Amino acid sequence: MDCFNVSLSEQEINKIPMLALAHIGDGVFELMVRSKLILEGKTRVNDLHRACVRIVAATSQAKRMEKLLPYLTDSELAIFRRGRNAKVNSVPHAASVREYHEATGLEALFGALWLMGERARLNELFSLAMEEQNENNEPASLKNNI
């Protein structure tokens, strides 16, 4: 079994419980964040940890998900919504229920894309999520495309 080159179909993804997709998506998102921080030159472990925790927190993930919504395909949006609407047993104190559900939806989406082998799409959405916004509240990379 090759756990790094998984390529499930959309039908197979739909059979996996949303919280299971969110579980793997949480790991995928955090690994992408950690990789980004190191590639940007952060190498002190304490700095890495603080920056990573700040980015992967539910409140931050919810804000990043809001930025992604306009760019999702119909099938991606369906996965996000199913993840967002999944019944969770608890919510961390630092996040509202809405933020936690939005973050769960983001994680489910990232988990599904990982399991479908959609690495290019994962990178595209991750880049958009991590991008700073311009004055029109649009990702800076889209400024020249409008």
- Cα radius of gyration (the chain): 15
Q: How does 87-121 read in b/e, with b if 16+ C-beta sit within 10 Å?
A: eeeebeeebeeebbbbbbbbbbbbbbbbbbebeee
Residue tagged active-site, from 2, 26, 47, 74 = 26
26 included as an active-site residue: yes
Nearest to 22 by CA among 99, 125, 113: 113
Tokens (6 digits) for 28: 């995928």
Catalytic residues: 26
